[in-house]
Amino acid sequence: MSDSVTVTNQQAADLLDQVADRLQILDANRFRVIAFRNAAESIRNLGRTLASIQAEDGLEKIPGVGKGIADALRELLETGHVQEFDELAENVPDGVIAMMQVPDMGPKKARRLWEELDITSIEQLRAAAAAGELAQLKGFGKKSEEKILKGIELLAARQDERTPAGDARPPAEKLVGDLRAALADGDIIRIEIAGSLRRWQETIGDVDILAVSENPAAVMQAFGALPQVAEVIAAGETKQSVILTTGLQVDLRVVEARNWGAALQYFTGSKAHNVPLRELALKRGWSLNEYGLTATGSGDAPEGEARFFSEEAALYAFLGMACPPPELRENRGEIQAAQNGRLPQLITLDDVRGELHGHTTYSDGKNTIEEMARAAMARGYGYWNVSDHSVGLGVVQGVDAEQIVRQAEEIARLNARFAAEGLDFRLLHGTEAEVLADGTMGLPDEVLATLDVVVASIHSGLRQDRDAITTRCLQVVHNPHVDILGHPTGRLIGRRAPADLDMEAVLRACAETGTVVEINANPMRLDLNDIYARRAVELGCKLAINCDAHSPADLALLRYGIGVARRAWLTPDDVINTRPVDDMLALLKR
Ligand SMILES: [Zn+2]
Ligand SMILES: [Zn+2]
């Protein structure tokens, strides 16, 4: 990094994590390591840039950031470097830090390989393991050499390859269903997907599944034999890790019924949530792990006394708090809220009464307006906004002013027919107006003025520099005919980075003008994400959750958008399409 380079939150967080890695290798004080990890996690989850926080509130206001780390961040923002961290980096080679990423290789092993065999890179580690040189070290055998080689292979395959939740959830759910079907009745008493999938995180590493069974051997056997399992990489009596044919890793654990509450809590995470929870338990004299609580002797209970919880909620209640929904467990204030009876009434799938962004054969949708309407009705919706692409988007045929008139006639005809059939359903007429290079819309104002709900989205020029694209986006938000800003950042998870927008400025403008901000529920988009959605509500914006459906099947994607909304602490009131159609329309800015 050179001077006066802007430091992103991600870069700052990564740097703090590297410092924590180095401190771990050097066997530094555990609490110092935790402090850096917590600060990194907290910065990763901020909805605003570090620079703006520094200017407005001071860096010490960031949760988990104390004076020392705040000073370091200031130095980083001003110079692009932190001298203390640079010196630390000279003491521990980068390659040794990289070695810690190999599965099963903790800081202790990495340090020994470095100190005793002078191995300072993953490449050297691979060579040494292949040549059988690790076996001469105490505690390392042929087996651990094989494990390390396998781990390096997995690491290479997985590096930076977190799986979008939309790719992981369907196979994980199918796996659970297939496992149940493969076993005798009663072999599985409980089963649930835990981990980041249960928290509805947008991408995931591995899938964690937990089960209760009185016949774990049968469960293990059936699991490994499922047809979608490509390879069993570790098999024990109650735990098994497999790789699916899609490359996804799935870990299954069978636990006892009395441990279910603590196990589900532990394996749901996140780490950021579980660390302060453990500290809270410790303060009360209990050590918390995946089995339950054990008295440390520092509280009222005699040392070694154990407590088990068959339900998660009972564990949280024992620790003096309500059970936070999994989506909130990111250490973003949910522990305090759970202690004070202030957990939000989160939005659910059932709260949504209609959608405001979707496509038909008039643009790139696969189905007619009527087919989409019938599918929306089948989901129990009371309305659906026909919002085909306007002209202006090169790769897709768009609707022009003439076709808008034809479409209006068709929609009026269909609404009349639905009414005659006694159906309580209304098609709305809108468009997904294309934002042109100069910030104007693909359809003239007088056409937009005839429509019920105008969504405006940027599909082209997403790589413009920050000033240019922010200015263009603000122009859209200030357009009096634009009701909803569609998939604001234009990102595609794992494929296309978000536009370099000044989101703080965009969201403030949306709040000011009454422009509704979309959470696009397509799992490749999830745009706004949870962080921005929460910030949007803080700033006073209203949101809409839409599938951007191009076929009836796409309407099933809504749950991913609800997942984002729940992670953003949203209540039904924050989302306009939880309302009956007339109340919803009354909230639009026109
Ligand atoms: Zn779009
Ligand atoms: Zn669309």
548 Cα–ligand 2 center, Å: 5
Q: What pLDDT, on the 0 to 100 scale, is given for residue 198?
A: 98
Q: 102 in helix, strand or coil?
A: coil
Alpha-carbon distance 399 to 560, whole Å? 29
What is the β-pairing status of strands 239-244 and 249-255? antiparallel
582 Cα–ligand 1 center, Å: 25
Same domain for 487 and 569, yes or no, is yes
Domain harbouring 214, CATH code: 3.30.460.10
- The ligand minimizing its distance to the Cα of 525 is 1
Asked if the structure places residue 260 within a domain, the reply is no
- The ligand minimizing its distance to the Cα of 488 is 1
Whether 494 has a pLDDT exceeding 90, the answer reads: no
- Closest CA relative to residue 276, chosen from 344, 198, 216, 336: 336
Whether 102 has a pLDDT exceeding 90, the answer reads: no
Whether 504 has a pLDDT exceeding 80, the answer reads: yes
Q: 327 in helix, strand or coil?
A: helix
Asked if the structure places residue 263 within a domain, the reply is no
Asked if the structure places residue 135 within a domain, the reply is yes
Same domain for 227 and 107, yes or no, is no
Alpha-carbon distance 203 to 523, whole Å? 9
Range with the largest mean pLDDT of 120-129, 156-165, 556-565: 556-565
- Whether residue 528 is preceded by a cis peptide bond, meaning omega within 30 degrees of 0, is yes
pTM for the model: 0.76
Asked if the structure places residue 261 within a domain, the reply is no
What does the pLDDT look like over 379-407, one tens digit per residue? 999 999 999 999 877 656 789 999 999 99
383 Cα–ligand 2 center, Å: 17
What is the arithmetic mean of pLDDT over 148-170?
81
Same domain for 369 and 499, yes or no, is yes
Same domain for 118 and 148, yes or no, is yes
- Number of structural domains (the chain) is 4
Q: What pLDDT, on the 0 to 100 scale, is given for residue 141?
A: 83
111 Cα–ligand 2 center, Å: 51
Domain harbouring 283, CATH code: 3.30.210.10
- The ligand minimizing its distance to the Cα of 546 is 2
Asked if the structure places residue 355 within a domain, the reply is yes
- Whether residue 460 is preceded by a cis peptide bond, meaning omega within 30 degrees of 0, is no
Domain harbouring 57, CATH code: 1.10.150.110
509 Cα–ligand 2 center, Å: 22
What is the arithmetic mean of pLDDT over 30-41?
90
Q: What angle do CA 552, 557, 558 make, to 5 degrees?
A: 105
b/e burial code for range 378-393 (CB count within 10 A of at least 16 → b)? ebebbbbbbbbbbbbb
Asked if the structure places residue 262 within a domain, the reply is no
Torsion of CA 42, 46, 49, 51, to 10 degrees: -40
Which of 222, 255, 288 is a domain's end point? 255
354 Cα–ligand 2 center, Å: 16
- Closest CA relative to residue 472, chosen from 435, 431, 527, 508: 435
Same domain for 401 and 528, yes or no, is yes
434 Cα–ligand 1 center, Å: 8
What is the arithmetic mean of pLDDT over 247-266?
96
Asked if the structure places residue 1 within a domain, the reply is no
549 Cα–ligand 2 center, Å: 7
Which residues fall inside 5 Å of ion ligand 2, going by CB?
432, 548
Q: What pLDDT, on the 0 to 100 scale, is given for residue 146?
A: 85
248 Cα–ligand 2 center, Å: 29
Same domain for 289 and 147, yes or no, is no
What does the pLDDT look like over 419-470, one tens digit per residue? 999 999 999 999 999 999 889 999 999 999 999 999 999 999 998 999 999 9
Same domain for 509 and 566, yes or no, is yes
Q: What pLDDT, on the 0 to 100 scale, is given for residue 363?
A: 94
- The ligand minimizing its distance to the Cα of 458 is 1
550 Cα–ligand 1 center, Å: 11
432 Cα–ligand 1 center, Å: 7
Domain harbouring 441, CATH code: 3.20.20.140
What is the β-pairing status of strands 207-212 and 249-255? parallel
Q: Which of 50-54, 173-177, 214-218, 519-523 has the lowest mean pLDDT?
A: 50-54
417 Cα–ligand 1 center, Å: 29
At 389, list the tokens: 């692409």
Which of 320, 339, 358 is a domain's end point? 339
459 Cα–ligand 1 center, Å: 6
193: left (phi over 0), alpha (psi -120 to 50) or beta: beta
387 Cα–ligand 1 center, Å: 10
139 Cα–ligand 2 center, Å: 57
Q: What pLDDT, on the 0 to 100 scale, is given for residue 159?
A: 59
193 and 172 Cβ atoms separated by less than 8 Å: yes
486 Cα–ligand 1 center, Å: 7
Alpha-carbon distance 524 to 136, whole Å? 48
Whether 195 has a pLDDT exceeding 90, the answer reads: yes
- Closest CA relative to residue 195, chosen from 221, 217, 172: 172
Alpha-carbon distance 231 to 254, whole Å? 19
172 Cα–ligand 2 center, Å: 28
- Closest CA relative to residue 188, chosen from 254, 232, 238: 254
482 and 441 Cβ atoms separated by less than 8 Å: yes
Same domain for 331 and 366, yes or no, is no
Domain that holds residue 571: 349-586
Same domain for 195 and 316, yes or no, is no
Asked if the structure places residue 266 within a domain, the reply is no
- The ligand minimizing its distance to the Cα of 491 is 1
Strand order across the 293-295 sheet: 286-288, 293-295, 306-307
570 Cα–ligand 1 center, Å: 23
At 172, list the tokens: 């994980």
20 Cα–ligand 1 center, Å: 41
482 Cα–ligand 1 center, Å: 14
Same domain for 146 and 179, yes or no, is no
Task: Kindly provide the residue ranges of all beta strands, DSSP E only, lying in 43-144, ordered along the sequence.
Answer: none
Q: What pLDDT, on the 0 to 100 scale, is given for residue 5?
A: 53
φ, ψ (nearest 5 deg) of residue 241: -115, 130
Which of 190, 220, 255 is a domain's end point? 255
197 and 207 Cβ atoms separated by less than 8 Å: yes
Q: How confident is the model at residue 140 (pLDDT cuts 50, 70, 90)?
A: confident
What is the arithmetic mean of pLDDT over 151-172?
82
The answer for residues whose C-beta is within 8 angstroms of residue 188's C-beta and 6 or more apart is: 179, 180, 211, 212, 213, 219
359 Cα–ligand 1 center, Å: 10
Same domain for 456 and 561, yes or no, is yes
Same domain for 511 and 553, yes or no, is yes
